[in-house]
Amino acid sequence: MSSSNKRQSVLPRMPAGPKAPVNFSSSITIADSALLAGKHTINIGSESVVHPRARLDSALGRITIGRRCVVHERTSLGAAPASAPASDPTILNTQGGVTIGDYATLEVGAVVEAGGTVVGEGCVVGIGCRIGSGAKLGKHCTLTPLSEIQPGEEVPDFTVVYSNGTRRLDRRGITELKHKAQARQIEVLKRLIPSNPTKFQ
């Protein structure tokens, strides 16, 4: 995780190093102080918002963010996998990046490890969550704050992970409403966050 002094040590170095190859939609909002690094391509779909100090690292694989996603502060996409599960070390895929589906929200401090990790459409990844390398979140999942998904795990659609890993199904059936709300929120964020995509291109 990035402590404040660590961030500062990285920031000045960024312009000097080679820029990560990017492929931005023209309608995205990306803050000036977002951190993009790595050698693989970083794709960001239309109308997605990347908050300041979000960290996108494509060193281990390509990062793809869908449409109308919100990536909050100090999230880390494509982080190096922490460790392989002892039971099956082969599950750890050091190659492969991160795919974030449309309408997903990654809240403050969430970590998505690299290695073919997928966050499905409409997922809400809560504050400080960690998604292990190669895990696959289905559509419209909700991870409550500080939840952890083990590497290689597959989480079915509409799962709510809460209370130290307890799971249940989200049966609210408000997918459409959530999409509308997400669109409205992005409208507001667009006005609030000064975007500077050219810095990264």
Partner 1 sequence: MASFTPYTYIQCPCHDTTTTTTTTSQSRPAEDAPSPTSPHSSDDDDDDHNFDPRAPRSNYSLYPLEYLLWCDVCHQIRCPRCVAEELVTIYCPNCLFEVASSSLKTEGNRCTRSCFQCPICIGPLAVQSLESAPEPSLLSADNANTATTPAGPWILSCSYCNWNSSEIGVKFDKPQGIFAQLQKLRHGEDSHSKHAVGGDTSPTKTDSVAATMKARFSAMRSFYSAQNAIANPSSGLGDYGFSSPGALSRIMSIYSGNNAGSHKQKSKGTMTREADSASEGFRALDLDDSSAVSQLRRDGWDSTVIGDQAKSQVEEGARFAEELWPIPYLLRTKRSKRCPVCRHIISKPESKVANTRFRMRLVANTTIPSISIKPFNPPPALLKPLQPVQYLLTFRNPLFDEVKVTLATPATTPGRFASRVTVLCPQFQMDPSTESGMYLVDDALKDDNKDIQGRRRRGTEGGTHQAEAGKIWERGHNWVTIVVEVVPASLSLEAPPALLRKEGEPEPDLSPLKEDEDVLEIPMFVRLEWEGDVSHDQMSTSTGKEKDAREKKELAYWCTIGIGRISQE
Q: Restricting to residues 127-156, name those near partner 1 by CB under 8 A.
A: 142, 144
Is residue 160 within 8 Å of residue 170, measured between CB atoms? Answer: yes
Q: Is 80 in the site for partner 1 (CB under 8 A)?
A: no
Surface-to-core class of residue 170, CB atoms within 10 Å of its CB (0-12 exposed, 13-18 middle, 19+ buried): middle
Q: How far apart are CA 62 and CA 40, in angstroms?
A: 5
| Residue 199 per-residue DSSP state | G
Q: Is 182 in the site for partner 1 (CB under 8 A)?
A: yes
Two tokens at 49? Answer: 């918002």
Two tokens at 53? Answer: 């100090």
Q: Name which position in 105, 117, 133, 147 contacts partner 1 (CB under 8 A).
A: 105
Closer by beta carbon to partner 1, 39 or else 180: 180
Would you call 40 helix, strand, or coil by DSSP? coil
Among the candidate windows 52-60, 87-95, 112-120, 159-167, which touches partner 1 by CB under 8 A?
Answer: 159-167
Residue 66: CB minimum distance to partner 1, A: 17
Residues that bind partner 1 (CB under 8 A): 105, 107, 124, 142, 144, 160, 162-163, 168-172, 174, 177-178, 181-182, 184-185, 187-188
